[in-house]
Amino acid sequence: MQYNPDPSHKFTFGLWTVGNIGRDPFGGLVREPLTRVELVHLLADVGARGLSYERLDHLTLELLPGVR
């Protein structure tokens, strides 16, 4: 079966998936890091229907009560 994406298909993406910088096993990162705002704009530019996120996409661990 061949996959043929169409604008009528609706996709959502997680910020952690498109924001993953990747790692080369013989070097450093393979993509430059983007801010959360840049990631949202990127998803909008490619026509994503929406995004999904975890609480840690927006909060640092230091801001969560009881987390060390």
pLDDT value of position 67: 53
Q: What pTM, to 2 d.p., does this model score?
A: 0.63
Q: Which of 53, 48, 50 is nearest to 15 (CA)?
A: 53
What pLDDT, in 10s, does the model give residues 8-66?
878 888 888 888 888 888 888 888 999 888 988 888 888 888 777 766 555 555 555 66
Residue 57 burial class via C-beta count within 10 angstroms: exposed 0-12, middle 13-18, buried 19 and up: middle
pLDDT value of position 50: 79
pLDDT value of position 27: 84
